[in-house]
């Protein structure tokens, strides 16, 4: 039965991890615009903004 205590604790820790992640996502504005990202994805090429890390990777 003591396994159940561990499982309960583990599931809660996991859950709390996710809710923290969710709170971070909302606070950092990821839910502010749910309309544009699905469209932006269709242009498949990374826009390559000058100040983003992705771009330097692509350029090299």
Partner 1 sequence: MASIETIAAPAATAQDKSISRPLCTHCGARCPDRRITQGDDFFCCHGCLTVFQLLAASGLERFYDLEKTPGIQMNRTPVGDGQFAYLDDAAVQTRLLDFQSDTMARATFHIPSIHCLACIWLLENLFRLNPAIGQAQVNFPRKEVALSFDPRGLSLRGVVELLTSIGYEPTLNLGAGAAPRSRMREERSLWLKIGLAGFVSANSMMLNFAHYFGLEADDAIGRLNGWVNFGLALPVLLYSASDYFRQSWLGLRRRALTLDVPIALGVSALFAQSTYEVVTATGEGYFDSFTMLILLLLCGRWFQQRSYDALSFDRDYRSYFPLSVRRRSAEGDRSVPVAALQVGDRIVVRHQEIVPADCRLRSPEAQLDYSFVTGEAEPVTRYEGDVIYAGGRQAGSAVELEVLKETSQSYLASLWNHEAFRKSRTRNLDTITNRMSRWFTGLVLLLAGGAAAVWLGTDPARGGRAFVATLIVACPCALALSAPFALGYAHRRLGRVRCFLKNAETVEELARVNTVMFDKTGTLTRAGEVVYAGQDLDAEEQRAVRAVAAHSTHPFSRAIAGTSDEVWPEVRRFHEEPGAGIEGEADGQRILIGCADWLHRHQISHLPSLASGAAVAINGVYRGHYQNTPAYRTNIEDLARHLTPAYQLSVVSGDSEREEERLRGWFGPAAELRFHQKPADKLEAVRQRQASGGRVLMLGDGLNDAGALRQADVGMAVTDDIASFAPACDIILDAARLDRLPALLDFSRRTLNVIRLSFAVSLLYNAAGLYFAMRGELSPLLCAVLMPISSVSVVALALLGTRLAERRSGLNRDLGAQAA
DSSP state of 41: G
- Minimum separation from the CB atom of position 60 to partner 1 (A): 18
- Minimum separation from the CB atom of position 23 to partner 1 (A): 6
The residues of the shown chain that bind partner 1, judged by CB under 8 A, are 1, 4-5, 8, 11-12, 15, 18-19, 22-23, 26-27, 31-36, 39-40, 42-43, 45, 47-52
CA distances in angstroms from 31 to 28, 37, 43, 50, listed in the order given: 8, 10, 21, 24
Q: Write out the two tokens for 16.
A: 């709390």
- Minimum separation from the CB atom of position 30 to partner 1 (A): 9
Left if phi > 0, otherwise alpha if psi is -120 to 50, otherwise beta: which for 33? beta
Of the two residues 13 and 60, which places its CB atom closer to partner 1 in the complex? 13
């Amino acid at each position: 039965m003591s396994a159940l205590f561990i499982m309960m604790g583990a599931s809660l820790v996991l859950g709390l991890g996710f809710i923290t992640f969710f709170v971070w996502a909302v606070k950092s504005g990821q839910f502010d615009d749910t309309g544009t990202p699905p469209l932006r994805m269709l242009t498949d090429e990374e826009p390559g903004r000058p100040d983003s890390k992705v771009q330097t990777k692509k350029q090299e």
